[in-house]
Amino acid sequence: MEARKLEETIALPRETVLDNQIERKRLYQKYCQKLEINTELTRQLVSFQANKSASFYRWLKYKEAFSSELVRYCINRFHPDHGSVRTILDPFAGAGTTLTTSTKAGWKATGIELLPVGVAAMYARLRADTVKIHSFQYFLNRLSRYNFSSPKVRFRFPHLRITEGAFPRETENAISSYVDFVRKIRNEDVKYLFLFACMSILEDVSYTRKDGQYLRWDSRSPRNLRSSFAKGEIADFRRSILSKLQLMLEDIKHRNGDSYSSTVSVFEDSCLNVLPTLPDCSFDIVLTSPPYCNRYDYTRTYALELAFLGYDELTLKSLRQTLLSATVENKSKRHTLYEQYLTRNQENRFIEAIAAFTNQPALQEVLAILYRLKEQNELNNLNIPSMVENYFFEMNLVIHELARVLSKGGRIIMVNDNVQYHGEEIPVDLILCDFAEHAGLSVDAIWVLQRGKGNSSQQMGAHGRNELRKCVYVWSKSPAHQS
């Protein structure tokens, strides 16, 4: 196939359907027997909430994660009976909960993560395995006597446009003084962990709070945002950093010789780029939670942390476009992805995968409705249809690649939420399960949490209350499956 003919393979039907839910109803009938309430799963278990007090996981408030308890639940339930080395993959590894938990149980783990905040958390955990406790304690003692008000500072917080004015002046000066202190530390493990500690408290000491799609700004901030939001007490930097480092030291002291650095591999890239390069049938379990199709822009919610890590306006924009499409600012990656498959001589894999996308009736029904609403100017953001389209196009490719790299007899466990736009529910669970079947996988179960997720207050006011399913999908690969 020539690259110029790609459009023919991904053209979307735009016809109007008389019953605007007929295909979604058919899809529901196809999988309704697979939907089952799993009373052993809770919202805390499939979110970061259950990690809040757990050692190492409490270093960074990273909400885009599930709990270590969920990982233990899955690997205990689905561990393979064959082989001495068990392998697990998380293609959206986040802060590395799958990796850290599974390796403690003797698994060999591979993670793929593009968001630098998550990558930093994973490497902090790696450094914690090797750091000398007496060195960490020594520099913490020195820091406790350090003058955070020193006027001679070289570091200046490298603000982005959306982070300007995030800190009280004395806080920003203290951050600069602290970084100057840390940069003089020659022990690389201690230096990394001390810098990570600073990154992890930036929200606490700022005028901001992460709130879904954006940062909320306290009314006391110097930005003229006409905000009435009151965050409460803005934490003192000195107390916060010393407290965070003390907490980290306590966890490091109790590591009990556990180390996962020798049994984990981390790819700092998009799984769209990495998965096609991994060998067939190489993982016993895939356990992951991809970004949801909910417009959340992590490059904005984690703007403070990304600025601290050195991202400027240009590199931030590039990162946003490279992440899996889940925001209204994402551009289509399909031509770029096609060229990558073509370069690797994997064109047939690409063509086979996108057939599932193009021919999925319920998805095309949703897209036809959303594009019609766009034409009628009834959406609160006109880029929603293209975002949904790009999200499923990319997730379909991910699922087909996961099916290929999964060992025969292996399982894929995926956590995700359904979403709704303008009153139109998108059955993410059922559509992705249909992609999985197209890729040769069996849908074993769609575990539904007893308590779903309510739609937004804006949608509730316009369209009524509609509780959306929050699910964990379980797919398997037959021992006789041919990749």
Residue where a domain terminates, one of 233, 253, 273: 253
Give residue 82's pLDDT: 66
The stretch 426-447 carries a mean pLDDT of: 97
Residue where a domain terminates, one of 190, 222, 253: 253
Q: Are residues 232 and 335 in the same domain?
A: no
Question: Would you say 45 and 63 are in contact if contact means Cβ atoms under 8 Å apart?
Answer: no
Q: Are residues 248 and 340 in the same domain?
A: no
Q: Are residues 374 and 483 in the same domain?
A: yes
Whether residue 262 lies inside any domain: the answer is no
Whether residue 418 lies inside any domain: the answer is yes
Phi-psi region of 94 (alpha: psi -120 to 50; beta: other; left: phi over 0): left
Whether residue 436 lies inside any domain: the answer is yes
Q: Read off the pTM.
A: 0.90
pLDDT digits (tens, 9 = 90+) for 72-91: 999 999 987 766 789 999 99
Give residue 480's pLDDT: 65
For 135, the domain range is 126-253
Residue 462 has pLDDT above 60, yes or no: no
Q: Are residues 237 and 347 in the same domain?
A: no
Whether residue 95 lies inside any domain: the answer is no
Give residue 1's pLDDT: 38
The stretch 246-261 carries a mean pLDDT of: 80
Whether residue 186 lies inside any domain: the answer is yes
Give residue 72's pLDDT: 93
Give residue 80's pLDDT: 79
Residue 463 has pLDDT above 80, yes or no: no
Cα–Cα separations (whole angstroms), residue 321 to 208, 340, 392, 397: 24, 16, 16, 17
Does 482 or 238 have the greater pLDDT score? Answer: 238
Q: Are residues 340 and 478 in the same domain?
A: yes
Whether residue 81 lies inside any domain: the answer is no
Q: Are residues 249 and 335 in the same domain?
A: no
Whether residue 65 lies inside any domain: the answer is no
Give residue 102's pLDDT: 92
Q: Are residues 140 and 245 in the same domain?
A: yes
Residue 7 has pLDDT above 50, yes or no: no
Q: Are residues 248 and 335 in the same domain?
A: no
Give residue 464's pLDDT: 44
Q: Are residues 362 and 228 in the same domain?
A: no
Residue 152 has pLDDT above 80, yes or no: no
Q: Are residues 344 and 460 in the same domain?
A: yes
The stretch 136-151 carries a mean pLDDT of: 91
The stretch 61-74 carries a mean pLDDT of: 87
Residue 345 has pLDDT above 90, yes or no: yes
Give residue 62's pLDDT: 83
Question: Would you say 324 and 272 are in contact if contact means Cβ atoms under 8 Å apart?
Answer: yes
Residue 406's beta-bridge partner residues? 283
Those residues whose C-beta lies under 8 Å from the C-beta of residue 345, and which sit 6 or more positions away, are none
Residue where a domain terminates, one of 224, 253, 282: 253
Query: Which tokens go with 464?
Result: 């009524």
Distance (Å, whole) CA 79 – CA 88? 10
Q: Are residues 23 and 148 in the same domain?
A: no
**Residue in the structure block whose two tokens are 């476009």:** 321
Could you give the number of structural domains in the chain? 2
Q: Are residues 466 and 352 in the same domain?
A: yes
Give residue 453's pLDDT: 55
Does 459 or 237 have the greater pLDDT score? Answer: 237
Whether residue 90 lies inside any domain: the answer is no
